[in-house]
Structure 1
Amino acid sequence: MSRPRPRPLLFLDVDGPLNPYAAQAERRPEGYTTIRASVQPGRPLRVWLNPSHGAALLALPYDLCWATTWMDAANRWIAPVIGLPRLPYVDFGDSLLVHRPDGIHWKTEAIVTYAEGRPFAWVDDEQSPADLTYVTDQHPAPALLHHVDPRLGLREEDFTAMTEFATTLRT
Structure 2
Amino acid sequence: MLLFLDIDGPLIPFGAPDAAYQVFERRAGLPPGGGGHPLLDRVDPGLGARLTALGCELVWASTWMDDANEVLAPWLGLPPLPVVPWPDEDEPPALIHWKTRPLVEFAAGRPFVWIDDEITEADRAYVAVHHPAPALLHRVDHDYGLTEADFRTLREWLDRQAPD
TM range (shorter): 0.7 to 0.9
CA distance in 2, matches of 1:98, 1:27: 37
User: How many pairs does the alignment contain?
Assistant: 156
The code of the aligned residue for 1:94 comes to D
Which among 41, 46, 62 is matched to residue 56 of structure 2? Answer: 62
Deviation at 1:28, TM superposition (A): 5.5
Unaligned segments of structure 2, at least 5 residues = 27-32
Kept in 1: contact 2:87–2:102 (CA 8 A): no
Looking at secondary structure, tell me which structure has more helix per residue.
Answer: 2
Which among 11, 16, 20 is matched to residue 18 of structure 1? Answer: 11
SS at match of 1:27: helix
State the Cα RMSD in Å. Answer: 1.9
Percent sequence identity over aligned pairs = 45
Looking at secondary structure, tell me which structure has more strand per residue.
Answer: 1
SS at match of 1:159: helix
Distance 1:22 1:98, change over 3 A: farther
CA distance in 2, matches of 1:53, 1:23: 20
For 2:145, the equivalent position in structure 1 comes to 153
Kept in 1: contact 2:10–2:115 (CA 8 A): yes
Unaligned segments of structure 1, at least 5 residues = 1-7, 39-43
Q: Does 1:91 align with 2:63?
A: no
SS at match of 1:146: strand
Q: When the two structures are superposed, what TM-score results if normalisation uses the length of structure 2?
A: 0.87
CA distance in 1, matches of 2:72, 2:54: 18
Aligned positions of 1:23-38 closer than 5 A: 23-24=16-17, 26-27=18-19, 29-30=21-22, 32-33=24-25, 35-38=33-36
For 1:110, the equivalent position in structure 2 comes to 102
For 1:135, the equivalent position in structure 2 comes to 127
